[in-house]
């Protein structure tokens, strides 16, 4: 019925006028945007290539032959970053989830675990990642314990533990944003605390926290490059070696571009999820 009337509906002159006006306005704003982008782009190119030091910068940062020479090494290093990122991200999410749930437990019985989880999130959120990596990669082997893992694993553990604390905080805020009546409704149906958390509270908490969570994951993606401080040859370390050999900064630029390419898909996902979350928020309950 309504669909039929929509199909045959002939817009009034007033509405046709509105449509034409909006179309004209849209075309005008696209034109303005295109022209201003072109102007800014040209100005930037002229300013940079016309700068007195441009020839030197070009040869020491953008040397194509050096880039080609070190690309394979840097790519191989990046493979380590990618694997490290996958493992660290999974472990940090798990760790953050556990710590955030432990912090919500009530009652005196749980005081010790609650306190531990709180101390963990407070201290590692404050501690600079570089210091944590140094402590793990150089401090722990110094203890000369049997079976100490290699520096890649230790550095990875430092990244995991640091990011686990960020994620724990984001998730805890998500859990607290779920209204207590949801927990009450789940418990009233006979679900245990664990079941209520798992099926009712956590899914909603993760959904609400997902933009912030993904931001943390994106920032972790570049911070896995800090593993180079501990010694293993990742993309940044490979670039450093190449740069020292060739006395040129181009390998760093190559590594930088590769990191951006590696991050792009996830940044895209993050934007999408954030937009969707914002739209949901605006749509109301």
Partner 1 sequence: MLLTCTDVRKTFGSAVVLDGLDLAVDEHEVVALIGASGSGKSTLLRCVNLLTEVDDGTITLDGEDITNPKINPDFVRRKIGLVFQSYNLFPHMTVLDNITLSPVKVHGRPSSSAKEQAMEWLSRVGLADKADSYPDRLSGGQQQRAAIIRALVNSPRLLLLDEVTSALDPELVGEVLTMIRDLKGDGVTMILATHEMGFARQVADRVAFLDKGKVLEQGPPAQVLGDPVEARTRQFLARIIEAGRL
Rounded to a whole number of angstroms, the minimum distance from the CB of residue 211 to partner 1 is 16
CA–CA separation, 117 and 168 (whole Å):
9
Q: Return the residue matching tokens 């009712």.
A: 200
CA–CA separation, 231 and 240 (whole Å):
11
How many helices (H) and strands (E) the chain has is answered by 13, 0
Q: With binding defined as CB under 8 A, does residue 274 bind partner 1?
A: no
CA contacts within 13 A on the Cβ side of 268: 6
CA–CA separation, 100 and 83 (whole Å):
26
Of the ranges 34-42, 128-136, 183-191, 252-260, which one interacts with partner 1 (CB under 8 A)? 183-191
Longest dimension (CA), the chain: 85
Q: With binding defined as CB under 8 A, does residue 282 bind partner 1?
A: no
Rounded to a whole number of angstroms, the minimum distance from the CB of residue 177 to partner 1 is 12
Q: With binding defined as CB under 8 A, does residue 276 bind partner 1?
A: no
On whether the CB atoms of residues 74 and 258 are closer than 8 A, the answer is yes
Q: With binding defined as CB under 8 A, does residue 142 bind partner 1?
A: no
On whether the CB atoms of residues 168 and 103 are closer than 8 A, the answer is yes
CA–CA separation, 124 and 132 (whole Å):
8
Q: With binding defined as CB under 8 A, does residue 186 bind partner 1?
A: yes
Q: Return the residue matching tokens 């991200």.
A: 89
Of the ranges 34-42, 154-162, 164-172, 177-185, which one interacts with partner 1 (CB under 8 A)? 177-185
Q: With binding defined as CB under 8 A, does residue 182 bind partner 1?
A: yes
Rounded to a whole number of angstroms, the minimum distance from the CB of residue 187 to partner 1 is 6
How far lies 216's CA from each of 94, 171, 213, 220, in Å? 14, 11, 5, 6
Instruction: From 132, 196, 200, select the one nearest 164 (Cα to Cα).
Output: 132
Question: Which residue number, 208 or 237, has a Cβ lying nearer to partner 1?
Answer: 208
Q: How many residues bind partner 1 (CB under 8 A)?
A: 18
**Applying CB under 8 A, which of residues 181, 247, 265, 282 lies at the interface with partner 1?**
181
- 37 membership: H or E segment, kind and range: helix 13-49
32 CB-contact burial (10 Å; exposed 0-12 / middle 13-18 / buried 19+)? exposed
Rounded to a whole number of angstroms, the minimum distance from the CB of residue 203 to partner 1 is 5
Question: Which residue number, 165 or 196, has a Cβ lying nearer to partner 1?
Answer: 196
Rounded to a whole number of angstroms, the minimum distance from the CB of residue 254 to partner 1 is 44
Q: With binding defined as CB under 8 A, does residue 148 bind partner 1?
A: no
Footprint (CB under 8 A) of partner 1, residues 201-230 = 203-204, 207
**Applying CB under 8 A, which of residues 27, 40, 184, 275 lies at the interface with partner 1?**
184
Q: With binding defined as CB under 8 A, does residue 55 bind partner 1?
A: no
Footprint (CB under 8 A) of partner 1, residues 187-206 = 187-192, 195, 199-200, 203-204
Residues that bind partner 1 (CB under 8 A): 181-182, 184-192, 195, 199-200, 203-204, 207, 285
């Amino acid at each position: 019925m309504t669909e039929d009337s929509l199909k045959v509906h002939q817009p009034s002159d007033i509405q046709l006028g509105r449509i034409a006006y909006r179309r004209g306005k849209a075309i005008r704003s696209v034109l303005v945007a295109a022209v201003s982008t072109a102007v800014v782009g040209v100005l930037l190119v002229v300013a940079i290539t016309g700068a007195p030091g441009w020839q030197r910068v070009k040869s020491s940062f953008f040397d194509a032959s050096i880039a080609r020479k070190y690309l394979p090494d840097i790519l191989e290093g990046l493979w380590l970053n990618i694997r490290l990122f996958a493992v660290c991200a999974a472990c940090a999410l798990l760790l953050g989830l556990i710590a955030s749930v432990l912090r919500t437990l009530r009652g005196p019985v749980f005081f010790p675990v609650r306190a531990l989880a709180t101390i963990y999130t407070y201290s590692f959120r404050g501690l600079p990642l570089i210091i944590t990596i140094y402590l793990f990669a150089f401090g722990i082997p110094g203890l000369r314990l049997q079976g100490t893992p290699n520096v890649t694993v230790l550095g990875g553990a430092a990244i995991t533990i640091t990011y686990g604390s960020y994620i724990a905080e984001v998730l805890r805020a998500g859990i607290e944003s779920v209204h207590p009546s949801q927990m009450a409704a789940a418990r009233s149906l006979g679900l245990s605390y664990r079941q209520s958390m798992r099926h009712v509270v956590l899914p909603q908490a993760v959904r609400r926290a997902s933009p912030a969570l993904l931001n943390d994951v994106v920032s972790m993606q570049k911070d896995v490059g800090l593993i180079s401080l501990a010694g293993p040859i990742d993309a940044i370390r490979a670039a450093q070696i190449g740069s020292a050999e060739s006395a040129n900064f181009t390998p760093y630029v190559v590594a930088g571009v590769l990191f951006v390419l590696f991050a792009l898909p996830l940044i895209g996902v993050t934007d999408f999820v954030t937009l969707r979350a914002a739209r949901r928020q605006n749509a109301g309950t």
